Structure 1
Amino acid sequence: MALVNHSAPQDDLFSGQFCGAVAVRPEFAITASHCVDHRSASSIDVVLGADDICRTTDGGPVPGIRIRVAEILPHAPGASSSDLSLLRLAVPVSPYSIASTLTEASDNPPQRGTAAGWGHSAISYAYSCTLKRFDLQQDAPKNCEDGLERSTALQASLQISPDIPQWCAIARPGSDNTCVGDSGGPVYTTDADPRVFAVVDWGVGCGPRDPGYYSFLPDIDTWIALSRN
């Protein structure tokens, strides 16, 4: 999913895209909280199934399903300082659009994963028209710790607690790294049955050896149940 400004024209979502998200239930998607902080639900649309979000040549709408966000539900249960928010969609999505998820990955994190998004290129620092995929591998603990020490101000601005479990990873050889604008997008396993286990959160930089930090998914059904009480 791409998160776009509701005001973005139907034939050109490029300038209106600002983050990613992933559908986890028919009426719910997850994104990074810092993507939607200080925004109203009515100002955000999700776009599902798009690839190229730049202007169409015939003036028609960018391919994909565009849905209004009805409500923003911040923070996972028991994690008031997490950088995750739940988006309730105005219209439910079809079952084939819902990601298969893995919510116990923080106990036994995968060695490899793939992220997806339309964010900045680490080379040109320009946004991408087409959906990009990033091959990632779990980083060495020392590099992860050094990254945390170098970026305390950024963590504070995102209100991220060091107690929140996150996957620390770098780009695999030959792959670009995630960057600005990829936040909120999915990170999924690379095996025969791929499942989303985290969302793109923040990073020390966009270089291939710069560690990125990806928030593990919580118990989604518990979160939804609590949000309805």
Structure 2
Amino acid sequence: MSASEVLGAALGQAARRAGIDPAESATTGHVVWASMGGFRGILESVLPGLVFIVVYTVTIDPASGEGDLWLSLGLSVAVAAVFTLARLIARQPVTAAVGGLVAAVVAAAFALLTGDAGNNFVPGFITNAVYGSALLVSALTGWSLIGLAAGFLLGEGTTWRRDRRKRRVYFWLAVAWAALFAARLAVQLPFYFAGDITALGTLKLVMGLPLFAPMLAVTWLAVRALHPRSAE
């Protein structure tokens, strides 16, 4: 297998594990809901960050203008740990929960080691920058990551690159996803440098799943439109 095929297979398998498979006859709403892990998945994704920002904001000392960093981070990590433990006890897949726990621990480490609550968001900035850059580069070089994943899922490998229409659609989908990650950085970084933790945390939540879900829906519909009879 070529490098592009290996990458496409890896991306496709990751998408399939997340419940995204254009070859299946599933509704758009079902696919988006499944990719977010349902109600529990949404809680696992949102609640740790929500707990951090609420506790930090409530404990802000008027004199110093800073909240209780240890308490807010400790409770955030504890919530993520509870979700992981609950899945282990129920013998359910723990990939998403463990991912959330690891992300919470890494973010907490950044903040605690520097003593700056704003650094709790640095791993997220790095993730957005890496994902956005990778998607943009893939689009500009003609090897859209969206196309590579869809090509594997639909069993056509990289032959989509010989179809001008598919190439164009996958190009713009990759650019759209890159724009989403770039928008997060453009909006949130000014609040990070200003030290406005409450606004930064709120924006992170607002620009998380509420933007991810419709973008995923558009991507799903576009790919299905390119392959209307794939299931048959």
The normalised TM-score by structure 1 is 0.23
Give the strand-richer structure, 1 or 2. 1
Structure whose residues are more often helix by fraction: 2
Name the larger-Rg structure.
Answer: 2
Identify which of structures 1 and 2 has the higher relative contact order when contacts are C-alpha pairs closer than 8 Å and 6+ apart: 2
Normalising by structure 2, what TM-score?
Answer: 0.23
